[in-house]
């Protein structure tokens, strides 16, 4: 595999809300039969924010990542917030994370990237471009998600699927050129744009004209339509992702998918012919944490030693829109 844009992951960190909600307790709350949630969503427990904010979780994760990298705030050329949820519509998420950390005198630019569940993957591609086309030497990417606020308990499948989390990664220019991006691809199949949606809250259904309504202002997902579209598009997308790399998905050392759902992970398993030993799966422990899912799993793989220097790694997933994205890199 040829590295086309050198970068090296030098730091990683994560942060989780203190409250843990187990599926057996949620089943009692929702009047569901025992084992229903694990059967249909694959989630056994998840972290749920109470007093924590996106900015607080993101700041804690970023502090841990900086410590691992041995860097100071002044060393960063850019801070990218890569997530779908936020504390405020304005100012942007990255600015609030910097504010939370008290980095008022650090000359660090703050950028937001939102491709919903694929935000981290998109941000890593963008960071690799900045590192290779500017004087940036180190970039922080933070994905902080609080999904639980936007869920409707009447929609039991989605209410039990999601969790809250944050993860941060520090990427640095690799002078040796041995680590970095091999291939990135993102395609949006907009026929599925309304399969996952929160209709209320934006200008089309503005809050002054449309007071809070659980159905309007909560996350809505048409699971069967999504799965059908994913089954049609993901195999072809994956084939095209690898066609110019001189390798195949079976040759990748570690695969970190978005923890979208139990059925979504089973679709990936089918592409691998059931060879799941290379796939990171933490859905049972955290649920779907939107854009934080992939960097959270990546952080755990780095900290545990499951991903070692020189290994190839594929980040892949789907997102609202309906988008499919993948990024192949050498760690």
* Angstrom distance (rounded) from CA 184 to CA 181: 8
Determine contact, residues 26/37, Cβ cutoff 8 Å: yes
CATH code at position 92: 3.40.47.10
Q: What is the DSSP letter of 1?
A: -
Phi and psi torsions of 258, nearest 5°: -60, 135
Hey, which bits of 196-322 come out as E strands?
A: 196-197, 220-221, 254-257, 312-319
Q: What is the DSSP letter of 118?
A: G
pTM more than 0.75: yes
Determine contact, residues 314/252, Cβ cutoff 8 Å: yes
**Strand, helix or coil at 225?**
helix
* Angstrom distance (rounded) from CA 323 to CA 310: 29
- pLDDT for position 134: 78
* Angstrom distance (rounded) from CA 287 to CA 279: 16
Determine contact, residues 50/291, Cβ cutoff 8 Å: no
Range of the domain at 165: 1-331
**Strand, helix or coil at 299?**
helix
pLDDT tens, the chain, 331 aa long: 899 999 999 999 999 999 999 999 999 999 999 999 999 999 999 999 999 999 999 999 999 999 999 999 999 999 999 999 999 999 999 999 999 999 999 999 999 999 999 999 999 999 999 999 878 999 999 999 999 999 999 999 999 999 999 999 999 999 999 999 999 999 999 999 999 999 999 999 999 999 999 999 999 988 889 989 999 999 999 999 999 798 899 899 999 999 988 888 888 888 887 778 899 999 999 999 999 999 999 999 999 999 999 999 999 999 999 999 999 999 9
Closest to 140 (Cα-Cα) out of 117, 116, 167, 164: 167
* Angstrom distance (rounded) from CA 150 to CA 293: 17
What is the count of structural domains for the chain? 1
């Amino acid at each position: 595999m040829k590295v086309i844009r050198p970068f090296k992951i030098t730091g990683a960190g994560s942060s989780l809300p203190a409250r843990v909600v187990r599926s057996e307790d949620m089943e009692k709350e929702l009047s569901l039969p025992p084992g229903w949630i694990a059967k249909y969503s694959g989630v056994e427990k998840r972290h749920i924010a109470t007093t924590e904010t996106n900015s607080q979780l993101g700041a804690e994760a970023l502090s841990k990542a900086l410590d691992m990298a041995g860097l100071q705030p002044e060393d960063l050329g850019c801070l990218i917030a890569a997530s779908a949820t936020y504390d405020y519509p304005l100012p942007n998420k990255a600015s609030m994370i910097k504010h939370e950390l008290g980095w008022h005198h650090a000359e660090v630019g703050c950028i937001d990237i939102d491709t919903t569940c694929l935000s981290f993957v998109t941000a890593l591609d963008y960071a690799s471009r900045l590192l290779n086309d500017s004087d940036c030497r180190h970039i922080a990417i933070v994905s902080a998600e609080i999904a639980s606020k936007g869920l409707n308990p009447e929609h039991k499948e989605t209410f039990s699927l999601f969790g809250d989390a944050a993860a941060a990664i520090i990427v640095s220019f690799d002078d040796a050129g041995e680590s970095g991006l091999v291939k990135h691809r993102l395609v949006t199949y907009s026929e599925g744009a309304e399969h996952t949606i929160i209709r209320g809250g934006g200008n089309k259904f503005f809050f002054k004209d449309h007071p809070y309504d659980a159905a309007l202002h909560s996350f809505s997902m048409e699971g069967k339509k999504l799965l059908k579209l994913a089954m049609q598009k993901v195999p072809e997308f994956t084939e095209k992702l690898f066609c110019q790399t001189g390798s195949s998905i079976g040759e990748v050392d570690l695969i970190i998918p978005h923890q979208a759902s139990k059925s979504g992970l089973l679709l990936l398993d089918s592409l691998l012919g059931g060879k799941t030993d290379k796939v990171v799966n933490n859905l049972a422990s955290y649920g779907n944490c939107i854009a934080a899912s992939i960097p959270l799993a990546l952080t755990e793989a780095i900290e545990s030693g499951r991903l070692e220097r020189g290994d190839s790694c594929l980040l892949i997933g789907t997102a609202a829109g309906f988008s499919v994205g993948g990024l192949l890199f050498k760690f």
